[in-house]
Amino acid sequence: MKDERKQVIVRMKPELLEKLSALADREYRSVNGEIEYLVSQAVRTDGGSGAYPSEFFDGASAFIWDGEERELLPMRSTDPVRLTDLKRYEDEKAVVVKNTLAFLNGLPAQNVLLYGDRGTGKSSTVHAVLNEYAPRGLRLIEVKKKDIITLPRLMNAISDGGDKKFIIFIDDLTFVEGQDNYGELKAVLEGSALHLGNLLIYATTNRRHLIKETAEDRKNDMHESDLRQEQMSLSDRFGIVVTYLDPDKREFIDILRSILSDRGITLPEDELELRAERFCLEKGGRSPRGARQLADIIECETRDPAALS
Residues 103 and 176 placed together within one structural domain of the fold: yes
Is residue 271 a part of any domain in this protein? yes
For residue 292, what pLDDT band results from cuts at 50, 70 and 90? very high
The rounded distance, in Å, linking the Cα atoms of 184 and 181 is: 5
Provide the pLDDT confidence category of residue 170 given band limits of 50, 70 and 90. very high
Greater pLDDT, 11 or 200: 200
240 and 253 in a single domain? The answer is: no
In a domain, residue 96? The reply is yes
Residue 64, in any domain of the structure: no
Q: Is residue 163 part of a domain?
A: yes
In a domain, 70, yes or no: no
Q: Are residues 226 and 162 in the same domain?
A: yes
Which among 70, 14, 5, 67 has a CA at the least distance from the CA of 39?
5
The domain tally of the chain equals 3
Whether residue 152 is found in the same domain as residue 194: yes
Residue 6 lies in a domain: yes
**One domain, residues 185 and 262:** no
Whether 264 shows a pLDDT value over 90: the answer reads yes
- What is the value of pTM for the model shown? 0.75
Do 98 and 208 fall into the same domain?
yes
Q: Which of 95, 185, 203 has the alpha carbon at shortest distance from 140?
A: 203
Tell me, yes or no, whether 110 and 255 share the same domain. Answer: no
Is 55 a domain residue?
A: no
The Cα–Cα gap between 238 and 84 comes to 26
61 belongs to a structural domain: no
Sequence-ordered list of residues with C-beta below 8 angstroms from that of 147, at least 6 positions apart, any chain: 65, 66, 67, 68, 154
CATH number of 212's domain: 3.40.50.300
Domain span at 17: 2-48
* Per-residue pLDDT at 210 exceeds 80: no
